[in-house]
């Protein structure tokens, strides 16, 4: 390759060696115990066609070295074609376990997502514990194909040289000159016998004296370890006469300067000589005369303090650097980072998430802000109430319980709820319900979910399987009784073309409204989303008492600058029903708009939130018909602040030392804050009860489209707006007529679907809260239902739960 300006090297695209093929290509005959028995004769038998690959003795070349372990072993190249030709016929003799070991694996990438919180079972019980709160999930890594027209070059506008971000290696942050010189630079701990490229540093500090450096940077953050710049804190500076040390006394930062003792002066001279020699002999850098040695602590990470701020952590060990290798960090002035009248979001405990405006600056790192604070008791929590209602009424069952209810095997349940393929000539036909995809980590909202170990299914899935079996009983039973479900059966073995066409049409209609999302994704039902919109319309129409406050001396960590907050916000966790505020300056949503999270979609490292904002948006949508107005949109989690789950709260000394408020004091405060003005009229109690009954009724009664009268139920709810969501939750469940309507519709529309009860036996004398009681089909009719609070049997709070059978009548209280 000498004296060649360019050369074209071509390689043949092939497959990598399998594990045993790799071992046969590199191991000597003495290591044959590491490979299967069927391969060993190839390494020892004189008649082996590749015996020359495994010589008993080899030559070595010391190449100027003295120790035998430093010598180069002279081996002939292994001819891969000969090796593979010999190994291929023997591969069939491997045992099943050895064949599995000799197969190709798959590349796995572990991705962190704060929305994931699961239990990862240990593969070796008794040796390792289960991993609790696992926030990673596995994904097969497949490298994308490379476009033949792709150019390997820097894109236009890429930052280079001194413009690179800190930590990127570059020589150009300091001035230098270069020259080929014989300096005996050490390579592998041996002095080089040839010339090396030597860098000589210039004086980038100019007329900046050591004392000026001390006054400006002692105790401050700089960059060290050039050219691999690393954030560091200057702790001490030694020059030829004094040592200057930084220390804290209480809350004050002080500098202690003392003359060097004779021993310390010797140490200083030794340090300067050793640093000069080290950079010259190991890195080929001439640093020049060293006027001062700077001792720094390198930054090792970030931690969250008790006050809620993020603080840098530093290494305990001090590292010395010549002054000329320290690079200045130029912080952005506070009036540039937070200019006057800049809209920000406050992170303090007393008004977390409140919009604020920068009114001025007091100190180099303190702000004066004006906060528009809404009383915390008046922040709407309609989303959380709807979420609680749905979780109470929509009960998921583990797969093994669902299999018992349906009287099918758990394996068949797994097949029919996923993709179940049939062979039809040269094509494949899927006759599965597609409510789960384990390998792709996909579920269907409202139908399935996965706990730490098992899949769980809702009553909607149970009812769908029942309809499948009732619609095509012969076909369903044939599938259920297949001798080997691992094999892909032919269409002719299980059904005929006419029935297959009807099955495909029925499955297409059944899957039409299904929404497939990742396992980490969640969503409220369309009825709860509509209820949130109705509530917010009423909430916004009323005057809200705002408390404007001017706060002085606010630390920069206590506010969010919308333009640089995405990385900080990305680490937040969100749940359904959380209230959020949009803090970015750009996008379809106006800055500082508030909304409620109704959907969460996690894909890789990215988490997207479906948010119903309090007011309609110009760039919003109706979420596929779930809303009457265009106030919904999907935003990235790094664009909003979670004001329900306060994860970035900044605690001042006052808030940290504030005495906690007990429950009685909190109730009194909330009652006083909720006292309506003349313009706010509370709805009559009868209206509240009626609305509460109708709102609770809609959860399960409308999840599954019924027939006849059941399809008309939603229209009753859409015409009315809830006047008081809190009253609905407390009052509606005490109305006997409403309770009868709620649970009667729940069982008729979702659990029964035609007088067939679905559920599991109760575990005690009382049925599970919100759960069904197992009965034989067609042997009862529903009379009255009410769920009593535990240990509460007062006549005015508990209703009669009875089932009328053909002969006896029994009651459960």
**For the chain, percent of residues with pLDDT exceeding 70:** 76
- β-pairing, 397-398 with 455-457? antiparallel
What average pLDDT does the segment 6-18 reach?
A: 81
Q: Report the Cα 607 to chain-centroid distance in Å.
A: 7
- Same structural domain, 621 and 509: no
Are 112 and 97 part of one and the same domain? no
Q: 380 with 535: CB under 8 angstroms?
A: yes
Residues 6+ apart with CB under 8 A from 277: none
Q: Is 134 helix (H, G, I), strand (E, B) or coil?
A: strand
Measured over the CA atoms of residue 626, residue 631, residue 635 and residue 640, the dihedral's sign is negative
Based on the domain organization, do 558 and 447 belong to the same domain? no
Tell me, yes or no, whether 97 and 195 share the same domain.
Answer: no
Is-contact 40 94, C-beta < 8 A?
no
pLDDT of amino acid 650: 82
* pLDDT per residue as tens digits for the range 490-499: 888 888 888 8
* 131-135, 319-323, 524-528, 764-768, range with greatest mean pLDDT: 319-323
Do residue 770 and residue 621 come from a single domain? Answer: no
CB burial string 323-335: b at 16+ within 10 A, e below: bbbbbeeeeeebe
User: Residue 86 pLDDT more than 90?
Assistant: yes
Are 604 and 644 in a shared domain?
yes
What's the domain range around 290?
167-325
Here the CATH number for the domain that contains residue 87 is 1.25.40.1050
Percentage of the chain beyond pLDDT 90 is: 24
pLDDT tens for residues 575-605?
999 999 998 877 788 888 899 999 998 776 7
The pLDDT of residue 166 is: 62
Cα–Cα distance, 697 to 706 (Å, whole number): 14
CA distance from start to end of the chain: 92
| Domain membership flag for residue 10 | no
Q: What's the pLDDT tens digit per position in 533-550?
A: 999 999 888 877 777 888
In a domain, 498, yes or no: yes
Q: What is the pLDDT of residue 121?
A: 85
Asked which of 22-26, 556-560, 740-744 is least confident by mean pLDDT, the reply is 740-744
Per-residue pLDDT tens digits for 674-712: 444 444 344 444 444 455 545 444 544 554 444 444 433
> Has residue 756 got a pLDDT over 70?
no
Mean pLDDT, the chain, as a whole number?
77
Beta bridge partners, 253, equal 248
Residue 633 in this model has a pLDDT that exceeds 90: yes
302/574: higher pLDDT: 574
Q: Please report the beta strands in 121-166, taking only residues with DSSP state E, as ranges in sequence order.
A: 131-134, 136-140
Q: Report the distance separating Cα 616 and Cα 800, nearest Å.
A: 45
Q: Which CATH number fits the domain that encloses residue 624?
A: 2.30.30.750
pLDDT in the model for residue 542: 82
Specify if 758 maps to a domain. Answer: yes
Q: Is the dihedral of CA 674, 675, 681, 687 positive or negative?
A: positive
In a domain, 340, yes or no: no
Pick the more confident residue, 93 or 338.
93
| Structural contact between residues 652 and 558, judged by C-beta atoms closer than 8 angstroms | yes
| In a shared domain, residues 175 and 318 | yes
Mean pLDDT check: name the lowest of 75-84, 206-215, 713-722.
713-722
Structure tokens at 566: 């995405």
Residues 397, 811, 457, CA angle at the centre, nearest 5°? 10
What's phi and psi for 477, nearest 5 deg?
Answer: -65, -35
Query: What is the tens place of the pLDDT at every residue in 729-755?
Result: 444 344 544 444 444 444 444 433 333
Integer Cα distance of 230 and 327 in angstroms: 10
Alpha helices in 675-711 (DSSP H): 685-701
**Of 51, 85, 101, which one is at a domain's C-terminal end?**
101
Give the residue with greater pLDDT, 303 vs 412: 412
Asked, for residue 59, whether it belongs to a domain, the answer is yes
Which residues are within 8 A (CB) of 435 and not within 5 positions of it... i.e. 6 or more apart? 417, 418, 443, 444, 447, 448, 457, 461, 464, 514
In the prediction, which pLDDT does 716 show?
Answer: 34
Residues 433 and 418 in one domain: yes
Domain assignment of residue 346, yes or no: no
- Say if 487 falls within a structural domain: yes
- Over 50: is that where the pLDDT of 571 sits? yes
Kindly state whether residues 23 and 48 are assigned to the same domain.
yes
Q: What pLDDT band is residue 248 in, cutting at 50, 70 and 90? A: confident
| Cα(140)–Cα(737) distance, integer angstroms | 54
pLDDT-derived band at 667 (thresholds 50, 70, 90) equals low
- pLDDT band at 293; cut points 50, 70, 90: very high
For residue 9, is it within any domain?
no
pLDDT digits (tens, 9 = 90+) for 91-101: 999 999 999 99
Domain boundary among 482, 513, 544: 513
pLDDT score, position 578:
94
Q: How many domains does the chain have?
A: 6
CATH number of the domain where residue 272 is located = 2.170.260.40
pLDDT at 758 over 70: no
Question: What's the confidence (pLDDT) of residue 721?
Answer: 42
Question: Residues 6 or more apart from 810 whose CB is under 8 A from it?
Answer: 802, 803
Average pLDDT on 262-276 reads 92
Lowest mean pLDDT among 158-167, 406-415, 461-470, 569-578: 158-167
Question: Please, are residues 240 and 254 in contact by the beta-carbon 8 Å criterion?
Answer: no
Rounded to an integer, what distance in angstroms lies between the CA atom of residue 299 and that of residue 297? 7
Which pLDDT value is given to residue 270? 93
Apex 497 CA angle, 495 and 501, nearest 5: 100
pLDDT digits (tens, 9 = 90+) for 437-453: 887 888 888 889 887 67
Task: Give burial (CB, 10 Å; 0-12/13-18/19+) of 509.
Answer: exposed
Top pLDDT among 234 and 750 is at 234
Please tell me whether residues 793 and 708 are part of one structural domain: yes
- Among 184-193, 256-265, 744-753, the minimum mean pLDDT is found in 744-753
Residue 175 contacts residue 204 (beta carbons within 8 Å): yes
Residues 200 and 274 occupy one common structural domain: yes
Length of the chain: 813
Domain co-membership, 707 together with 758: yes
């Amino acid at each position: 390759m000498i004296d060649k300006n360019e050369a074209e090297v071509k390689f043949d695209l092939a497959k990598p060696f399998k594990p045993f093929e790799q071992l046969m290509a590199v191991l000597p005959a003495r290591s044959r115990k590491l490979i299967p028995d069927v391969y060993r004769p190839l390494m020892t038998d004189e008649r082996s066609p590749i015996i020359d690959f495994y010589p008993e003795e080899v030559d070595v070349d010391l190449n100027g070295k003295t120790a035998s372990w430093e010598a180069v072993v002279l081996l002939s190249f292994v001819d891969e074609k000969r090796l593979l030709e010999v190994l291929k016929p023997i591969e069939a003799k491997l045992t099943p376990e050895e064949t599995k070991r000799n197969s190709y694996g798959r590349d796995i990438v572990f991705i962190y997502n704060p929305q994931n919180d699961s239990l990862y079972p240990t593969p070796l019980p008794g040796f390792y514990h289960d991993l609790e709160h696992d926030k990673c999930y596995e994904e097969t890594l497949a490298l994308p194909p490379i476009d033949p027209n792709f150019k390997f070059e820097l894109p236009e506008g890429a930052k280079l040289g001194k413009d690179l971000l800190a930590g990127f290696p570059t020589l150009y942050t300091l001035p230098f000159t270069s020259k080929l010189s014989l300096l005996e630079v050490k390579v592998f701990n041996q002095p080089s016998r040839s010339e090396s490229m030597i860098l000589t540093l210039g004086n980038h500090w100019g007329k900046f004296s050591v004392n000026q450096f001390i006054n400006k940077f002692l105790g401050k953050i700089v960059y060290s370890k050039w050219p691999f710049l690393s954030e560091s804190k200057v702790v001490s500076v030694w020059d030829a006469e004094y040592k200057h040390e930084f220390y804290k006394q209480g809350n004050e930062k002080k500098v202690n300067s003392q003359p060097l003792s004779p021993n310390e002066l010797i140490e200083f001279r030794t340090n300067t000589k050793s640093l000069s020699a080290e950079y010259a002999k190991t890195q080929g850098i001439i640093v020049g005369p060293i006027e001062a040695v700077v001792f720094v602590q390198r930054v090792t990470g970030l931690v969250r303090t008790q006050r809620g701020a993020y603080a840098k952590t530093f290494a305990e060990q001090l590292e010395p650097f010549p002054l000329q290798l320290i690079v200045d960090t130029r912080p952005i002035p506070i009036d540039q980072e937070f200019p006057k009248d800049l809209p920000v979001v406050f992170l303090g405990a007393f008004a977390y998430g409140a919009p604020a405006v920068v009114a001025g600056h007091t100190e180099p790192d303190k702000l004066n802000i004006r906060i528009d604070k809404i009383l915390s008791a008046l922040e709407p929590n309609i989303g959380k109430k709807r979420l609680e209602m749905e979780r109470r009424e929509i009960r998921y069952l583990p797969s093994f319980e669902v299999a018992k209810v349906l009287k099918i095997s758990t394996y068949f349940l797994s097949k029919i709820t996923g993709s179940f393929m049939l062979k039809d000539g040269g094509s494949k036909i899927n006759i599965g319900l597609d409510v789960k995809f384990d390998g792709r980590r996909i579920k269907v909202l409202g139908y399935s979910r996965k706990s730490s170990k098992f899949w769980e299914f809702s009553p909607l899935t149970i009812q769908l399987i029942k309809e499948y079996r009732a619609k095509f009983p012969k076909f369903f039973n044939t599938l259920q009784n297949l001798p080997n479900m691992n094999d892909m059966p032919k269409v002719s073995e299980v059904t005929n073309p006419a029935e297959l066409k009807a099955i495909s049409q029925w499955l297409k209609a059944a899957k039409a409204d299904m929404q497939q999302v990742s396992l980490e994704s969640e969503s409220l039902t369309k009825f709860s989303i509509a209820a949130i919109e109705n509530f917010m319309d009423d909430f916004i129409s009323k005057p809200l008492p705002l408390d404007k406050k001017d706060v002085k001396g606010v630390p920069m960590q206590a506010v969010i600058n919308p333009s640089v907050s995405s990385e900080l916000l990305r680490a937040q966790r969100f749940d359904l029903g959380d209230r959020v505020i949009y803090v970015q300056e750009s996008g379809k949503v106006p800055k500082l708009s508030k909304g409620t999270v109704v959907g969460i979609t996690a894909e890789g490292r990215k988490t997207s939130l479906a948010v119903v904002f309090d007011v309609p948006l110009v760039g919003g949508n109706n979420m596929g018909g779930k809303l009457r107005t265009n106030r919904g949109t999907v935003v990235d989690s790094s664009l909003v602040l979670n004001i329900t789950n306060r994860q970035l709260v900044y605690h001042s000394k006052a808030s940290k030392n504030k005495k906690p408020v007990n429950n009685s004091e909190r109730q009194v405060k909330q009652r006083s804050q909720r006292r309506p003005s003349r313009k706010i009229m509370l709805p009559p109690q009868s209206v509240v009860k009626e609305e509460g009954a109708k709102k609770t009724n809609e959860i399960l009664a409308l999840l599954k489209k019924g027939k006849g009268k059941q399809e008309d139920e939603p229209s009753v709810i859409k015409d009315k707006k809830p006047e008081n969501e809190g009253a609905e939750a407390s009052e509606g469940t005490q109305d006997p007529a409403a309770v009868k309507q709620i649970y009667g519709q729940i069982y008729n529309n979702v659990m029964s679907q035609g007088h067939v009860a679905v559920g599991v036996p109760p575990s005690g004398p009382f049925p599970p809260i919100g759960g069904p009681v197992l009965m034989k089909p067609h042997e009862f009719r529903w009379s009255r239902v009410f769920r009593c609070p535990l240990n509460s049997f007062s006549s005015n709070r508990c209703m009669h739960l009875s089932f009328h059978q053909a002969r006896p009548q029994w009651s459960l209280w």
